[in-house]
Structure 1
Amino acid sequence: MPVYESDIQDEGLACHPPSLDINPLQLFDITKGENRPLYAAAPMVRYSKLAFRETVALYGVDLTWTPMILAKEFNRSILARDSDFTTSLFSPPTIAQFGCNSPLEISRATTLISPHVNGIDLNCGCPQSWACAETLGAALMNKRELVTSMVASAKSRLKDLGYENKKTVSVKIRVHKDLRETVDFVRAVQGAGADFITIHGRLRSTPSSKPVDLEAIKLVAQHISVPTFSNGDIFTLADAKEHAKFTGVDGVMSARGLLENPALFRGDENCPWEVVEAFMEKVVRAPLPFKLVVHHLGEMGGSDRSQKGKTLFSKEERAELMACEGMVELIDWCEEMRERRGRRSH
C-alpha cells in the first residue's frame, strides 16, 4: 500500500493526506447543508484505481470507493496489498471495499488498511458468478447473520485501533425479489453497527441493461435510519438529483456514468477535454496498465449515453487512440490532440 514518493518530493507535503481526517458521515452533513445529495464514485472492478479516483474528485465527487478487494488475499500477501490498493498525498476521501465471508478476515483487513482510508465497506452486491460461488458479493444477501457478524467485527476492530467515530463501516447491497427480505436484511445490518448503506436497485439476476428499480430503493430506504446511497443508472447530474428526490436517499453513486464522463457531477453534459488532461497527469503520478488507460480514454471520448451524440473524439481520433502501442505513443497522441484543439479554437 505505497504512498507515491514523487508526491512528497515534488510538493514538499507532509505524509498525512488531509482527506484522512474526514469522517464520511461528516460529508453527509455538509452536503445536506448544501441542499444536495452526497456524490460518490462506485467501486468498479479494474477501474476504480487511484488515478481515476483522484480525477473524479476534481470534478464534484465527494467520496470514492476502491474496487472490491478480496480480504483473504489482501491479508495473506504483500504482493496482493501493493497491487490491490495504492494511495497518495492527493487521495480524496476513500472507502475500501472488501469481498469477504469471514469475520476474522474482515477484522484483519481492517487492521491493515484502516490507517490509509476513511472507511471499510462490505460488498454484498457483486452479481458475478465467480464471486457468488465463493459466498461473496450478492450471495451474502442470503447470509444475513454472517454479514451482521462481519459488520460487528469490523466496527469492533476500528474501536480497538482508536478509530471509533473517525472511520466508518458500511455495506453495499442489491435487493431481493421479495423486498421484505431486504428490509429485514438492512435492519439487521444497521443494528450490527453499519454507519451507512448503499442500495443498488437491481436483483442479483437483473442485467445492467434493465432500468434500476427506484421504487425498491425508496421502499428499502424508508426502513433505514442511517444515511443511504442510491446506486444505478446515474448518468447525468439531473439523474442524480431526480434519484435522490424520488427515493429520499442521502447520496447517489455512479459507476458507468463516471467512466463516460468523470465531470458529470459538476454538471457537464459531455466529457470535457480538460478531464483527459487531468486524468493523464494523475496516471503519470499513479501508473495504470497501458490497456486500462486506453480503455478509460475510450470511454471518455466515446458515443455512449452521456455524450448525447456529441463525442469528444472523432471516429478517426478514436482509431488513432486504439492504434497506440505504448504510453510514450499515447502521451504523444494526447499532445497532438491538444494542438489540434488549439488550432480549432482559433
Structure 2
Amino acid sequence: MSNIYPRARTLTKKNDPLHIIKTRKITHNRAVTIAGPMVRYSKLPFRQVCRHYNVDIVYTPMILAREFVRNCHARMADFSSNDSDTPLIVQVGVNNVTDLLRFVEMVSPYCDGIGINCGCPIKEQIREGIGSALIYNPELLSSMVSAVKAKYGDTVRLETKIRIHDDWDQTVALCNRLCDAGVDWITIHGRTRTTRSSVPVNLDAIKYITEKIQDRNVPVIANGDCFTMQDFQNILDYTGVDGVMAVRGLLDNPALFSGHDKCPWSALELFWHYAMEFGGLPHQLLLHHLHCMLESMGLEKRLHNELMEMKTTAQLIDWFDEKFVLKRLGEAGFAEATRIQYKNTSKV
C-alpha cells in the first residue's frame, strides 16, 4: 500500500457522501458538486486542487479490481490518498462479486465510498464485462450491489455510474433494480455506450429517468457537458437531479464550480505545489494537466508549443520560472492570481 495512505476513517456527517448529497441545498444553498473519475488524471494532486474550488466530492480514476486485489504493485501504483483527501469515492472496474467484495474490504477503510464503473465505453473493458457492459447485465450489476450492501450496510456507501440505453425505459428498469439492491445514489451520464463525446449530452433522457424513479428516495447525479456554472445551473433546472458531476470541464478548469469561466492562475500554482509535495506524477501526466489549464487560460500559441517540447519535469520547472512568476507556498500572493503571471509584458 502507498506510504501516503490516510488513516482508517469512519463515516460521519462531515464526510458521508450520501448525507452531503442530500443536504447541500440546505447547508450551502446549492446542489452538490462532484469531480468525476478521469482515467489517469484524477490523481491525488489534482483532486486536492479541485477541493479548493467548491468541489464537494471527488472520485479517483477507475481502478481494476482484479489487478488491485491480486497485485501489490498495482495497489502501490493505483491508489494514494491522505487525511485531507475527503470526501473521496474510489471508482472500481469489476465484473464479479468476489473481486468486488475483496476490493471493498481493502479500500473502504481509506475512502468514503465506492463507485462501480458502469459507463466506460472502451472496447477492451467491454470485452471483459466491465464498464458500460454492465448496463446490459442488470442481474450481475444488481447482485454486486446487493452483496456489498448485505455485508456492509450503511458503513460503506456505494454508487453506480451508468450510461443511458437507446430505450430510456430500459435504463429506468435498471435504476429500479439498483434501488432494490440498495445502491446509495446513481450517477447518469447522458450518452449511450456508442455516443461520441462531441454529441451533446441528452438532458431529456436524464430528466425522464430521474422523474421515473423520484419516489425511490435514491439521489440522482447528472454527468455530461458541464463546463461552466451556467451549465451547472441549466442541468439542475432542466433535469431536477440532486447534483452535477463534471469531468472534462474540470480537467481544463479545476475552479469551474467556484464560478471561474476559465482556469485561474491560482489553480495552476496549487497544482504545481501538490504535484511536487506528493510526487508520483509521471512527466507526461504533469505536462498534460498544465497543457489543459494553460489552454483554458489562453496561453499564446508560441509559448504553448514551447511547453509541449519540455522533456523532463526539471526542464519544465526551469521553463516556468523563466517565463512566468510562479509563486511557491509561503510567498506573498501564492495561489491568489487569476490571470497568467507573465514575467514581462512581452510574454517571453
TM-score (norm 2): 0.89
Give the alignment partner of residue 292 of structure 1, picking from 277, 285, 288: 285
SS of the equivalent of 2:231 reads helix
Asked if structure 2 preserves the Cα contact closer than 8 Å seen for 1:65 and 1:96, the reply is yes
1:78 aligned residue? 72
1:78-97 alignment runs, 5 A limit: 78-97=72-91
1:254-273 alignment runs, 5 A limit: 254-273=246-265
Q: CA deviation at 1:191?
A: 0.7
1:1-346 alignment runs, 5 A limit: 1-4=1-4, 15=7, 22-33=15-26, 34-157=28-151, 159=152, 164-224=153-213, 225-287=217-279, 288-302=281-295, 307=296, 311-339=297-325, 341=342, 343-344=344-345
Q: CA deviation at 1:4?
A: 2.7
Cα distance in structure 1, aligned partners of 2:253 and 2:323: 18
Q: CA deviation at 1:3?
A: 4.1
Q: CA deviation at 1:105?
A: 0.8
2:329 aligned residue? none
Q: CA deviation at 1:223?
A: 2.6
Aligned-partner residue type, residue 257 of structure 2: F
Cα pair distance change 1:334/1:43, threshold 3 Å:
same
Q: Provide, for residues 112-131 of structure 1, a one-character-per-residue CA deviation record: whole Å limited to 9, x for no partner.
A: 00011100111111111111
Cα distance in structure 2, aligned partners of 1:323 and 1:62: 35
Q: CA deviation at 1:18?
A: 9.6
Q: Provide, for residues 144-166 of structure 1, a one-character-per-residue CA deviation record: whole Å limited to 9, x for no partner.
A: 01001100112233x2xxxx434
TM-score (norm 1): 0.89
1:11 aligned residue? none
Where in structure 2 are there 5+ consecutive unaligned residues? Answer: 326-340
Asked if structure 1 preserves the Cα contact closer than 8 Å seen for 2:189 and 2:224, the reply is yes
Q: CA deviation at 1:337?
A: 3.6
Asked if structure 2 preserves the Cα contact closer than 8 Å seen for 1:3 and 1:88, the reply is no
Cα distance in structure 1, aligned partners of 2:311 and 2:145: 45
2:334 aligned residue? none
Where in structure 1 are there 5+ consecutive unaligned residues? Answer: 6-13
Q: CA deviation at 1:341?
A: 2.6
Cα pair distance change 1:279/1:17, threshold 3 Å:
farther
Q: Provide, for residues 84-111 of structure 1, a one-character-per-residue CA deviation record: whole Å limited to 9, x for no partner.
A: 1111232131111111111111000000
Cα pair distance change 1:72/1:321, threshold 3 Å:
same
Q: CA deviation at 1:19?
A: 8.9
Q: Provide, for residues 283-327 of structure 1, a one-character-per-residue CA deviation record: whole Å limited to 9, x for no partner.
A: 11222110011001101111xxxx4xxx34211221221121211
SS of the equivalent of 1:222 reads helix
Asked if structure 1 preserves the Cα contact closer than 8 Å seen for 2:9 and 2:109, the reply is no
* Identity, % of aligned positions: 41
Cα distance in structure 1, aligned partners of 2:316 and 2:4: 22
SS of the equivalent of 1:197 reads strand
Cα distance in structure 1, aligned partners of 2:56 and 2:10: 14
Asked if structure 1 preserves the Cα contact closer than 8 Å seen for 2:31 and 2:244, the reply is yes
Asked if structure 1 preserves the Cα contact closer than 8 Å seen for 2:8 and 2:109, the reply is no
Aligned-partner residue type, residue 141 of structure 1: I
Cα distance in structure 2, aligned partners of 1:105 and 1:293: 31
Cα distance in structure 2, aligned partners of 1:263 and 1:142: 35
Cα distance in structure 2, aligned partners of 1:326 and 1:17: 37
Cα distance in structure 2, aligned partners of 1:273 and 1:325: 23
Cα pair distance change 1:298/1:209, threshold 3 Å:
same
Cα distance in structure 1, aligned partners of 2:41 and 2:57: 15
C-alpha RMSD of matched pairs (Å): 2.0
Aligned length: 325
Instruction: Decide which moves more: 334-343 or 30-39.
Output: 334-343
Cα distance in structure 1, aligned partners of 2:256 and 2:68: 32
Q: CA deviation at 1:35?
A: 2.9
Asked if structure 1 preserves the Cα contact closer than 8 Å seen for 2:91 and 2:117, the reply is yes
Cα distance in structure 1, aligned partners of 2:133 and 2:8: 37
Q: CA deviation at 1:272?
A: 0.9
Asked if structure 2 preserves the Cα contact closer than 8 Å seen for 1:17 and 1:91, the reply is no
Cα pair distance change 1:16/1:140, threshold 3 Å:
closer
Asked if structure 1 preserves the Cα contact closer than 8 Å seen for 2:113 and 2:157, the reply is yes
